[in-house]
A and B are shown apart, each in its own frame.
Chain A
């Protein structure tokens, strides 16, 4: 069975641009979470979606947004990119909102120049 898949795996953008990252959860998983992992730091929670509704938001500016589609896949959008947005963006899925193990994808590495 396929795990959590993310695309693209690597991308380079310039300051001020916009980026869209995509995530497909494990089949049957209804919850998707997004994390930002800056080099040398632990992952930091950005958003959680469950059944297409936002169920949690971390301490990130409004430039960050996300959505979940009827097939439970998800997109993370970041507008007006800053150098500090350079990071590994991890998507994780779980079966339900409060139960089940959290499974992580391999991430999308974003470099902002």
Chain B
């Protein structure tokens, strides 16, 4: 069975500082990987995805993530955060060849950006 572990439930950081949100996954088959962001009282928005090709993936709002197959990780990074990045971030996986709608999510990491 697949699973996703987000190692930090909360990450406080000062504005303009770099941030890394960690994600590890477990799967016996090849997977696609995703990061979603959820602002308060809103649904989920796709930040970026890894399907194949380059292991460094760039997304919206200046975020990027690196797929590391040997370490089964897909950590999310941003070199300089803004107050507006305060939100909850979810890492998700789905089976290679699995349907688009069936994602396995981690428990989320709350990013709190302080002035």
Contact = CB atoms under 8 A, between A and B. Distances in A.
Judge: A and B partners, yes or no: yes
A90 B41 CA distance: 12
B101 A94 contact: yes
Interface stretch (B13-21, B43-51, B69-77, B78-86): B43-51
B57 interface: no
Q: What does DSSP make chain B's interface, helix, strand, loop or mixed?
A: loop
Given A90-B44, A102-B46, A106-B41, A33 B108 contact: no
List the 4 closest pairs (A to B, CB-CB), nearest first: A33-B101, A42-B105, A104-B43, A48-B101
A41 B36 CA distance: 14
B25 interface: no
Interface size bracket, B side = 20 to 34
B54 interface: no
B28 to A, nearest CB: 18
Given A45-B104, A98-B99, A106-B41, 11 more contacts: A42-B6, A42-B108, A43-B105, A44-B105, A50-B99, A92-B43, A98-B98, A98-B100, A101-B46, A104-B45, A107-B43
A57 B106 CA distance: 18
Interface residues of A, number: 30
B99 A55 contact: yes
17 contacts: A41-B107, A42-B6, A45-B103, A48-B102, A50-B99, A55-B101, A56-B101, A56-B102, A94-B101, A97-B99, A97-B100, A98-B98, A98-B99, A101-B46, A101-B49, A102-B103, A104-B43
